[in-house]
Amino acid sequence: MKKNIYYSLLMSSIITVAAAEETRQVDKHEHGVGELNIAVESSAINLEFMIPGADITGFEYEAKSDSDIALVNAALSKFENFQNIFILPDSSNCDLVDAEIGINQEDDHDEHDEHDDHDEHDDHDEHDEHDEHDEHEDESHNEFVAHYSFSCRNVKEIDRIDFPYFTTFPSSGELEIQFVSEAGSTSFEVEGDEPFIDLKGKI
């Protein structure tokens, strides 16, 4: 139940910040740019990452080969240990209460979904007509999504968040961060040369 409350806060925070930043529109599939939404309420902090697959594994098509699947699984394992991605101050005494890690697969071509029953045509000569199907893979996008919820005994001690994310995934060039708390909302752009945000006075 708590998770649903946290998630509602996170979603409302995104809307709030988006309204304040309506001139900023970031293409979530822009290579080298990931998105992070952070919401703080009472003793809870939630972080939700949305990162283009190319920034994590070097490709955005659906992993099918053994080598690609191995890259995806290795990346998911890294996300499972949140300290590979971000670090909260020890003094905040935050405990992880929930985490969800996954991949969203999108395709720019609506008709792509029409081929989901592709296997039904295995015996048909026109099957070859769908060979160009592979071309669509270059236009599909997978996105790593990671959501972490924490309960903190000293949430106001979160005056900084560091991001080892940039060394964990060297192809990632930037994080576009939307932050909201009871003190207000703000946004950050973080890169690997200064991999942290300063939250003094913002919680």
- The token duo for 184 is 């207000």
Q: Is residue 139 part of a domain?
A: yes
Residue 116 lies in a domain: no
Task: Print the domain residue range for 31.
Answer: 2-109+128-198
Assign 66 a pLDDT band (cuts: 50, 70, 90): very high
Can you tell me the distance from the alpha carbon of 13 to that of 7, in angstroms, rounded to the nearest whole number? 10
Geometric angle at alpha carbon 136, from 122 and 142, rounded to 5°: 110
Flag whether 115 is in a domain.
Answer: no
Question: Which residues does 48 contact at the CB level (< 8 Å), separation at least 6?
Answer: 10, 36, 37, 38, 145, 146, 147, 148
Q: What number is the average pLDDT over the span 182-188?
A: 96
pLDDT at position 139: 58
Residue 28 has pLDDT above 50, yes or no: no
Q: Strand 160-162 vs strand 184-191: parallel, antiparallel, or unpaired?
A: unpaired
* Residue 168 pLDDT grade (very low, low, confident, very high; cuts 50, 70, 90): very high
**β-bridge partners, 196:** 162
Residue 12 maps to a domain: yes
How many domains, the chain? 1
> Which neighbouring-strand residues pair with 131?
none
Specify the DSSP class assigned to residue 87.
B
What was the pLDDT predicted at 105? 80
pLDDT attached to residue 131: 45
Cβ contact 144:79 at 8 Å: yes
pTM of full prediction above 0.85: no
User: How far from 188 is each of 37, 38, 105, 159, 182, CA to CA, in Å?
Assistant: 10, 11, 27, 14, 17
106-149, pLDDT tens digit by residue? 765 444 444 444 444 454 444 444 444 444 445 567 899 999 99
Q: Looking at the domain assignment, is residue 121 inside a domain?
A: no
Does 83 reside within a domain? Answer: yes
Residue 45 is predicted with a pLDDT of: 98
| pLDDT single digits (tens) 151-164 | 999 999 999 999 99
The answer to whether residue 81 is domain-embedded is yes
Give a yes or no: residue 166 inside a domain.
yes
